[in-house]
């Protein structure tokens, strides 16, 4: 018997929140505010929300053109990550294998744009294990 869409999305949502907790615990601690961590949740209708701890805002992740533009305080790179994580929860579409680095032509190619240094490999490995990050081809 096939799993209910809500159950499948719930599993992927748990994977996303595990990754967000890891990102908030390492490096520059993106998505963390004090002891609290941002998280994604799903309402009874199956709609996704981003809960931002810095200003206690609950940001709606659906809708044309305005997604996370008002109130999201983490910048464009992390906004795009949140949107990609939304797509993973909704459809199962994995993030491109290079979405979390390593980035070529960057002084700190391994830790990349985020300034996470060697800890970024731990984030990438965890994202692969959780099924969020696609494996590199070839």
Question: What would the 3-class secondary structure string for the chain be?
Answer: CCCCHHHHHHHHHHHHHHHHHHHHHCCCCCCEECCEECEEEECCCCCEEEEECCCCEEEECCCCCCCCCCCCCCCHHHHHHHHHHHHHHHHCCCECCCCCCCCCCCCCCCCHHHCCCCHHHHHHHHHHHHCCECCCCC
Nearest to 28 by CA among 111, 93, 102: 111
pLDDT tens by residue, 87-131: 999 999 999 988 887 766 655 555 466 778 788 889 999 999 999
pLDDT score, position 131: 96
pLDDT tens by residue, 35-48: 999 999 999 999 99
pLDDT score, position 105: 61
pLDDT band at 4 (very low <50, low <70, confident <90, very high): confident
Q: What is the pTM of this model?
A: 0.88
The domain spans of the chain are: 5-130
């Amino acid at each position: 018997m096939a799993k209910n869409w809500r159950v499948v999305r719930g599993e992927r949502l748990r994977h996303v929140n595990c990754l967000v907790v890891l990102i908030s615990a390492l490096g520059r601690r993106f998505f963390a505010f004090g002891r609290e961590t941002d998280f994604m949740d799903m309402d009874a209708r199956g709609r996704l929300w981003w809960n931002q701890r810095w200003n206690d805002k609950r940001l709606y992740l659906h809708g044309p053109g305005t997604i996370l533009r008002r109130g999201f305080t983490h910048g464009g790179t992390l906004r795009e990550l949140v949107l990609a994580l939304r797509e993973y929860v909704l459809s199962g579409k994995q993030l491109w294998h290079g979405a979390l680095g390593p980035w070529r032509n960057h002084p700190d190619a391994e830790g990349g744009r985020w300034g996470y240094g060697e800890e970024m490999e731990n984030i990438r490995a965890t994202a692969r294990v959780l099924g969020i990050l696609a494996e590199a081809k070839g």
